[in-house]
Amino acid sequence: MPFYLEIVKALPTGTSGALLLALPIGNILTGQISGKISDVIGTKKPIIIGFIVCVFALFLLSTLSVESHAYQVAMYLFILGAGAGVAYGPLNSAIMGESPEKDRGITSGLLKMMTNFGSSLGVALTLLVAGLVMGPKMAMVAAHTIKPAEIMPAFQSAFFFCMVLQIWDWFLSSW
């Protein structure tokens, strides 16, 4: 997303950073509420709803274009953060609830390690997808000799790929 904002939209780094705050704000605003709701109704429904919201937000991000406005980016990122806030608190609670009490420290550490691993792998795979779509034009992106409209398919494919990963993640976690 920072690359889209800075390369395609030609926004300054500070403005791009400010727009990216929409994601954690969405997460913060929904995370606590979701945790309280999941304590009452259980974890399954908030997890499913959160993943559906994330898939929807990633689909919206995959439709961004050169003409898209910055407020659209902020709104889509907010929706993505809100979906993550709804899903991941109850998901973590469900995982910890399944762990025997004596193993909760290990489970917590493993959960954090897998979260970090998944984030790192997700970034690498997303850049791989964007690179495959761009092919040899990727060097032109680095040299700033390509028009922003020519790299939009890479961003759209990367966000669509993230949406597919989110669906896959939901599928695996629902088993």
pLDDT in tens, 9-18: 888 999 999 9
Domains of the chain: 2-173 (1.20.1250.20)
Rounded to whole angstroms, the Cα distance separating 2 from 7 reads 8
Report the chain's C-alpha Rg in angstroms.
Answer: 18
Note if the pTM is more than 0.85: no
| Residue located via tokens 């727009």 | 19
**Residues sharing a CB contact under 8 Å with residue 87, sequence separation 6 or more, in sequence order:** 34, 46, 47, 49, 50, 51, 53, 54
Average pLDDT on 43-62 reads 91
Q: Give me 99's structure tokens.
A: 């762990």
Task: Report the C-alpha gap between 29 and 49 in whole angstroms.
Answer: 16
Ordered alpha helix ranges (H), the chain: 2-3, 13-20, 22-41, 44-62, 70-98, 104-134, 138-142, 148-173
User: What mean pLDDT is predicted for residues 2-13?
Assistant: 86
Which residues, including other chains, have CB under 8 Å from residue 78's CB and lie 6 or more apart? 22, 23, 25, 26
Q: CA dihedral defined by 105, 124, 19, 54, rounded to 10 degrees?
A: -70
| pLDDT, tens only, 85-113 | 999 889 888 888 888 889 888 888 888 88
User: How sure is the predictor about 144, in pLDDT bands with cuts at 50, 70 and 90?
Assistant: low
